[in-house]
């Protein structure tokens, strides 16, 4: 599980403050927020890539606030997936185990269930640049899950995908998360996306965590006008009339 | 690359291709003139000369030693300049480029002067560290003239390698050292290799500072460019050109390698 207490971090003039956040073990938590609200900074801090100015982060009971990224055992999938371009998919996926001294073959064998779960077998020999967005997302997810993380951080994992692929990937994310039971923190700015996967959600505005709860509770009782605006369903564009240009 | 609609030939394409053609013709004219002035017999005679063979061996030996030193220095220095910002880093960046803008002859003089200072004299007093008028001095001159190029190429290669991927590697269990060797260096390897080839090609051609710092003693400190100079100075144009042709052939091999490393491998990545 994830427990954050009185966390503060800075990036230049911008400050992110989270007074308290708890994500239960095996829970899928979605953090919603507009662009520039500090969601990615918070994920970077949880992954250990940004130092906290104060506060405490506990993952699975361990205080990881001052641990190096490699000691945290937190899987992180960045927005652009961050696959290593000089390695094929198989080597990307086995990277974490090879770093720990395992051979590529042994690592691949160990990860066979994960490869099958994500349906990656036919992509193993492919290079990242030749993959579609959805395929890259799956490969990056497999690489992050290879370390058997206590916590999985997903930074806008479907924002670069088209709508049909988004739905497919979100369904797969939810299925994989349930099967592995990994505690997941997913950040995005789309209510539809959150609705598709979240057990619970939180809303971040201007660097602060404004509210947390079940999505329907948040929609029914928003803490303030900014939260209400963010949780308003996206307007549907009117269908163009006959003879009108799209 | 997809082409845009409209005429394929326009004034920009014509003008730039004309400039390209003029430059390529000028280079080829120089090579053709050299080839016209020399012949196979002269080449054979020159290559049979023990002095020339010694110079070729010495050029290859010293330039390879220089290459190793440049690689050892340029990779960490280029990485530091690319990744870290600290007080004075801008000044250090500028100082690294100093040997590129310094006239080569001045470098020879500066080295000679340095080895007359107390520190230089102390270095020279150690038997295995003597540089003035020795083969080690050739490597020192080549190193100073090529290291900046290597460092610049290394910095550019690391600048082009996405730093975020190194940070991501930390979350996958890497130490900073492992992220450097397993992610940063492989991502920059095309640029690093191209820089190494460029540095080697430059090292083979170093001449000015050698005349001053190590002299031009045949069978001792004379390298290929020095032999060309010595032959021309006594009016032996044909042997000079024969050695020059050999240098040119070596440079061509280096350039083809450079092109393959810089362009070919990038295509291989993308394929």
Beta strands in A91-194 (DSSP E): 151-155, 183-188
| Domain boundaries of chain B, sorted by first residue | 59-221
pLDDT tens profile A62-105 = 999 999 999 999 999 999 999 999 999 999 999 999 999 999 99
Q: Does B178 touch chain A (CB under 8 A)?
A: yes
pLDDT of residue B171: 96
Instruction: Identify all chain A residues contacting B169, using CB atoms and an 8 Å cutoff.
Output: 84, 95, 99
Q: Where are the domains of chain A?
A: 2-84+134-230
pLDDT of residue B239: 82
DSSP lists the bridge partners of residue A211 as A203
Searching chain A, which residue's CA lies closest to the CA of residue B178? A99
Task: Record the tokens describing residue A210, joined without a space.
Answer: 């404004």
Handedness of CA B72, B76, B77, B79 (dihedral sign): positive
Q: State whether residue A184 is helix, strand or coil.
A: strand
Which of A49, A72, A99 has the CB atom closest to B167's CB atom? A49
Tell me if B269 and A86 make a contact (CB, 8 A cut-off).
yes
3-state secondary structure of A209: strand
Residue B270 Ramachandran class (φ > 0 left, ψ -120 to 50 alpha, else beta): alpha
pLDDT at A172: 92
Is the pLDDT at A239 greater than 90? The verdict is: no
Ranges of residues in chain B with a pLDDT under 50 are 1, 268-271
Please check the confidence at residue A246 and state whether its pLDDT lies above 50. no
Between residues A242 and B42, the one the model is more confident about: B42
Label residue A240 by pLDDT band (50, 70, 90): low
Helices (H) and strands (E) in chain A, counts: 10, 10
A33-37, A98-102, A175-179, A240-244: segment of lowest average pLDDT: A240-244
pLDDT at A245 over 60: no
Q: Does A76 touch chain B (CB under 8 A)?
A: yes
Is residue B75 within 8 A of residue B154, CB to CB? The reply is yes
pTM of the model: 0.84
Q: How far apart are CA A20 and CA A65, in angstroms?
A: 14
B171/A76 Cβ within 8 A: yes
Quick: pLDDT tens for A117-172: 999 999 999 999 999 999 999 999 999 999 999 999 999 999 888 888 888 899 99
Supply B213's token pair: 């710092």
**Fold entry, domain B59-221:** MetI-like fold (1.10.3720)
Average pLDDT value over all residues in chain A: 91
Task: Please give the pLDDT value at position B271.
Answer: 39
Complex-level ipTM: 0.90
Size of interface A-B (CB pairs under 8 A): 60
- Out of 3.10.110.10, 3.40.50.300, 1.10.274.30, 3.40.50.450, the CATH code matching A2-84+134-230 is 3.40.50.300
């Amino acid at each position: 599980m994830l427990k954050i207490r009185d966390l503060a971090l800075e990036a230049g003039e911008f400050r992110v403050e989270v007074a308290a956040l708890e994500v239960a073990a095996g829970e899928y938590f979605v953090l919603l927020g507009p662009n520039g609200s500090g969601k990615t900074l918070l994920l970077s801090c949880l992954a250990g890539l940004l130092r906290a100015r104060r506060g405490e982060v506990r993952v699975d009971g361990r205080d990881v606030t001052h641990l190096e990224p490699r000691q945290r055992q937190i899987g992180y999938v960045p927005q652009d997936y961050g696959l290593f371009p000089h390695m094929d998919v198989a080597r990307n996926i086995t990277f974490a185990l090879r770093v720990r001294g395992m051979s590529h073959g042994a690592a691949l064998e160990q990860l066979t269930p994960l490869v099958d779960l994500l349906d990656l077998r036919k992509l193993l020999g492919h290079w990242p640049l030749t993959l579609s967005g959805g395929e890259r997302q799956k490969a990056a997810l497999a690489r992050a899950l290879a370390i058997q993380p206590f916590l999985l951080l997903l930074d806008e994992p479907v924002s670069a995908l088209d709508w049909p692929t988004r739905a497919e990937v979100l369904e797969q994310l939810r299925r994989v998360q349930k099967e592995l039971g990994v505690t997941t923190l997913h950040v995005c700015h789309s209510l539809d996306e959150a609705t598709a996967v979240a057990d619970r959600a939180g809303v971040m505005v201007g660097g602060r965590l404004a509210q947390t709860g079940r999505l329907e509770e948040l929609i029914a009782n928003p803490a303030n006008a900014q939260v209400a605006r963010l949780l308003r369903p996206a307007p549907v564009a009117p269908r163009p009339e006959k003879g009108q240009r799209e | 690359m997809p082409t845009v609609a409209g005429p394929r030939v326009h004034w920009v394409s014509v003008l730039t291709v004309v400039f390209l053609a003029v430059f390529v013709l000028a280079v080829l004219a120089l090579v053709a003139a050299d080839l016209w002035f020399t012949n196979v017999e002269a080449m054979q005679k020159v290559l049979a000369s023990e002095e020339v063979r010694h110079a070729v061996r010495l050029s290859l030996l010293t330039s390879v030693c220089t290459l190793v030193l440049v690689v050892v220095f340029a990779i960490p220095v280029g990485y530091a300049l690319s990744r870290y910002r600290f007080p004075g880093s801008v000044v250090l960046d500028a100082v690294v480029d100093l040997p590129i803008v310094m006239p080569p002859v001045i470098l020879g003089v500066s080295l000679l002067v340095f080895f007359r200072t107390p520190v230089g004299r102390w270095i020279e007093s150690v038997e295995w560290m003597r540089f003035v008028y020795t083969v080690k001095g050739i490597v020192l001159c080549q190193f100073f003239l090529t290291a900046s190029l290597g460092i610049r190429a290394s910095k550019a290669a690391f600048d082009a390698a996405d730093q975020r991927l190194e940070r991501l590697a930390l979350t996958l269990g890497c130490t900073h050292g492992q992220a450097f060797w397993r992610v940063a260096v492989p991502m920059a390897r095309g640029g690093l290799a191209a820089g190494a080839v460029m540095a080697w090609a430059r090292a083979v051609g170093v001449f000015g500072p050698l005349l001053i710092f190590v002299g031009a003693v045949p069978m001792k400190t004379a390298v290929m460019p020095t032999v060309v100079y010595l032959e021309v100075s006594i009016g032996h144009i044909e042997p000079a050109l024969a050695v020059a042709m050999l240098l040119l052939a070596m440079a061509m091999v280096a350039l083809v390698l450079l092109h393959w490393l810089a362009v070919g491998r990038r295509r291989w990545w993308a394929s």
